[in-house]
Structure 1
Amino acid sequence: MIRPGSEILDDRGRIAQLHGVGVQRVGERWFAWGEDKTSGPTFTAVACYSTGDFDEWRFEGNALEEGDGDLAGDRIIERPKVLRRPDGIWIMFLHVESADYSAARVGYAIAERPEGPYRYIGSERPLGNLSRDIGVFQEDGVGYLLSEDRENGLHIYRLRDDYLAVESIVVTLRQQRNPEIGYESPTLVKANGRYHLFGSDLTGWSLNDNMHASATALEGPWTDWSPFAPVGSRTFDTQVSVVLPAGDGFVFIGDRWLPDDLFRSKTVVLPLVIEGETATLAWRDEWTIGELA
């Protein structure tokens, strides 16, 4: 039974480090890669878990561990997302930062198995742009990177064929009320021929009503941004991390950040309804993934 907002423990009885999580379906299980906040904001590892029901989580090991350069212990590594290339190789994407958040780069790592270990390749500012919170999307073997650029907006990039660099900008989206900026913590899914994009406002650790837009083509036109949870709920006090298809529905996973105790920040898992141009998130005290079958 999934109880949103309760502490998630792994099979070792430890708090699952699912912060800023990325998730992919692998066979009968979902694999998840999260920020290990053992050291607070600075980098310790990217932890890998798997689950069959989003209730019980198995620790698969550290997919990526502290090293040197971008992966040094005084650096910040956030938003681990993973895609499997058509050739079967797994690529991990990372928000790579310096302690003062001036780096604003996207990093790439590679592995033969979803749980890793991943070999770090390097980082870039895609096409010279700032890159902070990221998301990924894949369709027909083509990979896409979603990247928040504080100076220009939220970019959807097409990745190079090897997924290890950005090739071109597909579209850049901005807010209606503040067209100079976009949304952060982006995630994208497709349902019934429409693309659905979700993101969080730029309010730091403070929570906000996350937003949603949709389109029939990645290039747009996109609908106006609108809240997908009750207005004023601050998306049930979460920041969206990922939305993913499951059964006949969708799963929303968000973070309840505790800035003074990031290690214990809770992960909230809720069912999400997508119909036509709209998406709706409602609170559930408890539910099961079987309800989406």
Structure 2
Amino acid sequence: MLYKFRLPAFRAFYLLGFVLFASTHPVYSQQPTPYTSFKPGGEWLDTDGKHIDCHGGNIIYVDSLKTYYWYGEHRGVPRGASCYSSKDLYNWKNEGAVLEKGTIETFERPKVVYDATKDQYVMWFHFDGNRYTLAELGVAVSKSPTGPFVVQHHERPNGHESRDIGMYVDPETKKAYIGYAADHTNRTIRMVELSGDYLSTTTNDVDIEAHCEGPGILKKKGTYYLLTSGCSGWTPNPATYYTATNILGPYTKQGNPFVGDAGNNSFNSQPCYIFKIPGYRDAYLYMGDRWNGGGRPDSQYVFLPITITEDGKMELHWYKEWDLSMFTPEREKR
């Protein structure tokens, strides 16, 4: 009789304790509330509720899959390149490490382009040793946007040192170009055209004569805009942009496009890519990294809209929160 009395009492006490614990210790779901906007520099979790670890990379859109793919440095374990997929640019699914750096001592700034002729994805990246003395371009390929990517070769383009890289693909000609910080601790930016299959560099390689790194490129109304950061390691600095009527230059220095930048540090970020968002008119997305003094897995991202004014000036304004409604949708073809 005593045994039968204590068992229900224990259950009631246990249930009461659980209720009290749950009321003061909320249970977090693995899947966070879906995002409906960008919050530059804020916490950004993937669909599993984990911090997005995808730095210094780029975004492509695969029309046949109606999916965006974001590639970048995976600075956690394993080190290498990570890939995330999304249908709306706000919510990202972790597709895992698509290239493990293995014996590569320094793997940075991966950029991916799709080659329709061979139906494969090509990744270019900064390939280096632990003292940044190799200064090479590396290339890897995959038949799937989610990898795995297999390294093909690595070398100095036309004999020039190469560190931070950016990429631009002309939407009309499909020609691809890499802007790379070159020669003697990034003394200049060079621009090199890639081969038709994107697997090698050509001799069409010019010196832009700009002491900077982190290049991002866009084109509007026949003018190319080259956005760069200064050379200050992990510390952010005021950006500079240049313009030209030919992607290979000559380029003219224009100034700092970050408007109202009180810290004079590109809103505490460094550019890594400019993504032209499909389906919208003149929708240019600035992709920046907030390194916080070092390349850690939990470094944040600063995504902002880029404006090209009526008189041809590039401007970036700070928004604590914004969404794609800022852009004008393109009219659907009948």
Residue aligned with 1:162, SS:
coil
- Is there any run of 5+ residues in structure 1 with no aligned partner, and where? 176-181
Q: Is the 8 A contact 2:292 2:299 kept in 1?
A: yes
Residue aligned with 1:20, SS:
strand
After TM superposition, give the deviation of residue 17 of structure 1 in Å.
1.1
Deviates more, 1:121-130 or 1:135-144: 135-144
Residue aligned with 2:96, SS:
strand
Deviates more, 1:282-291 or 1:219-228: 219-228
After TM superposition, give the deviation of residue 59 of structure 1 in Å.
1.2
Deviation digits for residues 115-134 of structure 1 (CA, Å, limit 9, x no counterpart) = 21111112000111100001
The alignment's TM-score, normalised by the length of structure 2, stands at 0.79
Picking from 27, 37, 44, the partner of 2:75 is 37
Picking from 284, 287, 291, the partner of 1:253 is 287
- Is there any run of 5+ residues in structure 2 with no aligned partner, and where? 1-36, 330-334
Deviation digits for residues 23-63 of structure 1 (CA, Å, limit 9, x no counterpart) = 11122332110111115xxx712110122333211112221
**Does the alignment pair 1:157 with 2:192?**
yes
Q: Is the 8 A contact 2:98 2:147 kept in 1?
A: yes
Residue aligned with 1:224, SS:
strand
Counterparts in 2 of 1:287 and 1:102: CA distance versus 1, 3 Å: same
| Distance in 1 of aligned mates of 2:252 and 2:294 | 37
Residue aligned with 1:234, SS:
coil
Counterparts in 2 of 1:107 and 1:260: CA distance versus 1, 3 Å: closer
Alignment partner, residue 125 of structure 1: 156
| Distance in 1 of aligned mates of 2:161 and 2:113 | 22
| Distance in 2 of aligned mates of 1:117 and 1:78 | 17
1:4-15 aligned at under 5 Å gives the runs 4-15=40-51
Residue aligned with 2:297, SS:
helix
After TM superposition, give the deviation of residue 291 of structure 1 in Å.
2.2
Counterparts in 2 of 1:207 and 1:201: CA distance versus 1, 3 Å: same
After TM superposition, give the deviation of residue 264 of structure 1 in Å.
1.1
Q: Is the 8 A contact 2:270 2:289 kept in 1?
A: yes
**Does the alignment pair 1:277 with 2:309?**
no
1:158-173 aligned at under 5 Å gives the runs 158-173=193-208
Alignment partner, residue 56 of structure 2: 20
Higher RCO structure (Cα 8 Å, ≥6 apart)? 1
| Distance in 1 of aligned mates of 2:273 and 2:295 | 22
Alignment partner, residue 116 of structure 1: 147
Picking from 248, 252, 261, the partner of 1:223 is 252
Sequence identity percentage: 29
What is the total number of aligned residue pairs between the two structures?
279
After TM superposition, give the deviation of residue 97 of structure 1 in Å.
1.5
**Does the alignment pair 1:174 with 2:203?**
no
**1:218 maps to amino acid:** I
| Distance in 1 of aligned mates of 2:221 and 2:208 | 22
Picking from 270, 279, 301, the partner of 1:267 is 301
| Distance in 2 of aligned mates of 1:86 and 1:197 | 26
Counterparts in 2 of 1:210 and 1:174: CA distance versus 1, 3 Å: same
Alignment partner, residue 212 of structure 2: 183
**Does the alignment pair 1:235 with 2:266?**
yes
Deviation digits for residues 167-209 of structure 1 (CA, Å, limit 9, x no counterpart) = 124431123xxxxxx2111111111221111111111111111
| Distance in 2 of aligned mates of 1:94 and 1:220 | 23
Deviates more, 1:229-238 or 1:3-12: 229-238
**1:203 maps to amino acid:** S
| Distance in 2 of aligned mates of 1:46 and 1:290 | 31
Counterparts in 2 of 1:239 and 1:156: CA distance versus 1, 3 Å: same
**Does the alignment pair 1:134 with 2:165?**
yes
Alignment partner, residue 46 of structure 1: 81
**1:157 maps to amino acid:** V
The alignment's TM-score, normalised by the length of structure 1, stands at 0.90
Deviates more, 1:254-263 or 1:182-191: 254-263
Deviates more, 1:182-191 or 1:52-61: 52-61
Deviation digits for residues 62-107 of structure 1 (CA, Å, limit 9, x no counterpart) = 2112333x3xxxx110001011124122100010111111111110
